[in-house]
Amino acid sequence: MDLYSGHINQLIEQFAKLPGVGNKSAQRLALHIINMPKEHVQRFAKVMLDARENIHYCKTCYTLTDNEECTICANAKRDHKTIMVVENIRDLAAYEKTGKFEGVYHVLHGAISPMLGVGPADIKLKELVMRLEGEVDEVIIATNSSLEGETTAMYISKLIKSTGVRVTRIASGVPVGGDLECIDEMTLLRALEGRTEI
């Protein structure tokens, strides 16, 4: 028996495609949208479309920005010779929230995973190597401590060792498989301070 009309079913289906949204949550969200004032729904839809149309990757570090360069890369007060390599934008946000890292970032948008068929060419590695042609003192690898994160760290280390740039890995205080965004600030700072050369 179909409980809902076609339109509601379509809405539920769309929500259920979002990460972390199960069928129950999708129903709840869809019914919530139906009960919202029409203007709110219009504004919501417009904000989503505007974001999709106007946000793109920073030309330098590949985080998301409204401009050509993100506010971190465009900030002359940051240490542009120290680059922290992270897997995704959420990890960047976690480190940025500590307010203690003064360098800049490089977002890989993934990690090498032979199991999932993700190779070095599928993440922003070429772009990282290109940045090293400028003046860089240190590359801090802050990929996750999962198998994929470690594989990626080793790959990057081998890749840039020959350039003479110092390569360090954040300390293993980060729980195995732990997403950086779920880790508290103290642990992150300790991992950063305890980084070692690889």
Q: Which stretch binds Zn ion (CB under 5 A): 64-72, 143-151, 164-172, 175-183?
A: 64-72
Q: Which stretch binds Zn ion (CB under 5 A): 13-21, 57-65, 170-178, 186-194?
A: 57-65
The yes or no reply on residue 58 touching Zn ion (CB under 5 A) is: yes
73 vs 111 by CB, closer to Zn ion: 73
Q: Which stretch binds Zn ion (CB under 5 A): 38-46, 61-69, 108-116, 158-166?
A: 61-69
The yes or no reply on residue 83 touching Zn ion (CB under 5 A) is: no
Pick from 30, 70, 136, 174 the residue near Zn ion by CB under 5 A: 70
DSSP assignment letter at 175: P
User: Residue 187: is it exposed, middle or buried by C-beta count within 10 angstroms (0-12/13-18/19+)?
Assistant: middle
Pairwise CA distance, residues 47 & 41, whole Å: 10
The yes or no reply on residue 61 touching Zn ion (CB under 5 A) is: yes
Pairwise CA distance, residues 60 & 70, whole Å: 8
Q: How far is the CB of 35 from Zn ion (least distance, A)?
A: 40
Q: Which stretch binds Zn ion (CB under 5 A): 15-23, 52-60, 141-149, 187-195?
A: 52-60
12 vs 125 by CB, closer to Zn ion: 125
The yes or no reply on residue 140 touching Zn ion (CB under 5 A) is: no
Q: Which of 77, 81, 69 shows the shortest CA–CA distance to 99?
A: 77
Contact criterion met (CB below 8 Å) for 151 and 139: no
58 vs 140 by CB, closer to Zn ion: 58
Pairwise CA distance, residues 163 & 8, whole Å: 57
H/E stretch holding 166 reads strand 166-169
Q: How far is the CB of 134 from Zn ion (least distance, A)?
A: 13
Beta strands 79-86 and 138-141: pairing type?
A: parallel
Pick from 11, 73, 89, 92 the residue near Zn ion by CB under 5 A: 73
Per the listing, tokens 């992270």 go with 86
Contact criterion met (CB below 8 Å) for 127 and 148: no
The yes or no reply on residue 60 touching Zn ion (CB under 5 A) is: yes
Q: Which residues bind Zn ion (CB under 5 A)?
A: 58, 60-61, 70, 73
